Amino acid sequence: MAEIKKVKNFPHIDIHPSLKDKLKAVQSILQSEKYHELYIAEKDGNAIALALSWLNTFHPSAKYIRFFAGEEQEENVYIYELLAPLLGSKSTQDKWIYSCCSNEKDNIAIVEEKGFHLFRRTFEETVGVTWMLQHLDSQTIDEKITPLKEVMSDLKKKQQFLSKIKTDYEQTHADNPVGCFTLTEWEEILRNDCPDESRSSVLFIEEEIAAYIMLHPGDTENHYEIGWVGLDQTKQDIKLLKQLLFSQLQMLKDNGVQTVGIEADSTNPVARGLFDFLELNKRKSWNSYILK
């Protein structure tokens, strides 16, 4: 029989070998002791199951949780005992969020039994640049495409763009609201995300933002990541956004980039529309479940 214990110092815990590999996903949180709460099921001096929570200042109203158990089937029983204090504790947060891969059926069944429901699917794929170019509208955009670097050096355009990304992010994260940040703080958030300011683009039409796509250098010189994307709120012209992406991908290809990584949330209709030809709903996803 295992004993359920609340732990303050993770480095002092002896972890059973069957559990150790499973903790790699949260290793940085555990090693840096940035968790909010940490509970273990301990048997014969070793942790055989573990559950933790942590907080996120960017989304301050939620408590994030993960749980893990060793290989033996009976150890999953302790997950329920570990979740009881984790979900029972009161704090300034008003919701719990659990995320996992869409194929982790056992864990999904556990959280659904606890009352969680799916509220977001996140799709991450790596796609060949040449293949993507073949599936996008190649029509040239008549309007001038402005590099992010130029936008950020023009006070009016910078304010417009920061307001736009702030609004877009807030609208696509309504279930788990972002904290209150000033435009100055949003500029820091943007820069910390390290977009390529020469290749990230904003399209202005009649001095209003019609579309934007952020590009980020990847781990290798022949790979890039597609980051935040957005459209004018009223027109929502997906065709225009696809044309903008085509021009960016052509530029990347001309500079030797072979693959791009994409990330699209089910809560973001613009991203879903931009990548609709990938049929993401048929693919594996990172699922997030919420309990209020």
pLDDT digits (tens, 9 = 90+) for 165-184: 999 999 999 999 999 999 99
Where residue 4 falls among pLDDT bands split at 50, 70, 90?
A: very high
pLDDT digits (tens, 9 = 90+) for 109-168: 999 999 999 999 999 999 999 999 999 988 888 889 999 999 999 999 999 999 999 999
> Cα separation of 275 and 25, whole Å?
28
Phi, psi of 248 (to 5 degrees): -70, -45
| Mean pLDDT along residues 57-79 | 90
pLDDT digits (tens, 9 = 90+) for 92-114: 899 999 999 999 999 999 999 99
pLDDT digits (tens, 9 = 90+) for 12-26: 999 999 999 999 999
| Percent with pLDDT over 70 in the chain | 99
Whether the pLDDT of residue 213 is over 90: the answer is: yes
Whether the pLDDT of residue 75 is over 80: the answer is: no
What per-residue string of b and e applies to 162-189 under the rule 16 or more CB within 10 Å gives b?
A: bebbbebbeebbeebebeebeeeebbeb
Where residue 1 falls among pLDDT bands split at 50, 70, 90?
A: confident
CB-based contacts of 187-194 (< 8 A; 24+ apart in sequence): 187/152, 187/158, 187/162, 190/162, 190/165, 193/227, 193/228
Q: Which amino acid is at 260?
A: V
Whether the pLDDT of residue 90 is over 80: the answer is: no
pLDDT of residue 234: 81
pLDDT digits (tens, 9 = 90+) for 222-276: 999 999 999 998 878 999 999 999 999 999 999 999 999 999 999 999 999 999 9
Whether the pLDDT of residue 285 is over 70: the answer is: yes
| Percent with pLDDT over 90 in the chain | 91
Cβ partners under 8 Å of residue 127, min gap 6: 259, 260, 261, 262, 278
Whether the pLDDT of residue 73 is over 80: the answer is: no
